[in-house]
Amino acid sequence: MEKKVLEKLVYGLFVLTARMDDYDNGCIINTAQQVAFNPDIICIAVNKSSYTHDMILATGTFNISVISEQADFALFQRFGYQTGREADKFNGFTAWKRSDNGITYITQGTNAYISAKVIHYVSTNTHTIFMARIEEEGHISGEPSATYDFYQQKIKQPVEVQPKTEPEGKIVWVCKICGYVYEGEELPEDFVCPICKHPAADFEKVIN
Ligand code: FE
């Protein structure tokens, strides 16, 4: 099947980290680009529902760690499928260091990190686009960067959905990536999982 036009754009994957009131947090984003040089400027787009977004808006600083093809699915589960408002994503996690700005960056399943300071931002309906000046950068490994397509094909691990043993005939749609349950006969074609952000194609119809 032909890809939708917007799906032909190439996206990378990044762990976006921030720190506020001695609390470390992070999320996964797929949009980070260098957009100017001398001085070096990057742009990132961050979903407004994420707590990392609010922390960056308040502090004006962040790090991005570039996810490599060696990354485990567990990295995505840790930083992508839970919210820093409820869970400490760094709890029990040791693969990180701090850059000079005091913010963490990820040292496993990544190949580089960048520290940046926000100089401008634009608010859209769903995302804030932050323009930021690069203040520090470093290499972590020589592994190739993971694209969003690579993640979809090689990293994500859909699970088999188990229907109830004694179904009551109720139709639901279960996300094969994170287990989120959508109640309803039909799943909208453009549905995106509110937890892990995977598309309708990653849902399975189950009779419960
Ligand atoms: Fe999901």
Tell me, yes or no, whether 13 and 54 share the same domain. Answer: yes
Three-class secondary structure of residue 75 per DSSP: helix
Write down the residue that tokens 């994500």 correspond to. Answer: 156
Distance of CA 183 to the CA centre of its chain: 25
Question: CATH number, domain at 205?
Answer: 2.20.28.10
Residue 18 CA to ligand 1 center (angstroms) comes to: 24
Contact (CB, 8 A) for 143 and 180? no
pTM: 0.92
Residue 76 CA to ligand 1 center (angstroms) comes to: 11
Domain hosting 205: range is 158-208
Residue 134 CA to ligand 1 center (angstroms) comes to: 33
Cα atoms in the Cβ-side hemisphere of radius 13 Å centred on 117: 7
Write down the residue that tokens 């930021």 correspond to. Answer: 132
Tell me, yes or no, whether 145 and 179 share the same domain. Answer: no
Tell me, yes or no, whether 35 and 123 share the same domain. Answer: yes
Of 153, 170, 198, the position where a domain reaches its end is: 153
Beta strand 127-139 with 110-123 is antiparallel
pLDDT tens digits, 18-68: 999 999 999 999 999 999 999 999 999 999 999 999 999 999 999 999 999
Tell me, yes or no, whether 97 and 189 share the same domain. Answer: no
Number of domains in the chain: 2
What residues have their beta carbon closer than 5 A to ion ligand 1? 175, 177-178, 180, 193, 195-196
pLDDT tens digits, 111-157: 999 999 999 999 999 999 999 999 999 999 999 999 999 999 999 99
**Class of residue 47 by CB neighbours under 10 A (exposed 0-12, middle 13-18, buried 19+):** middle
Residue 200 CA to ligand 1 center (angstroms) comes to: 9
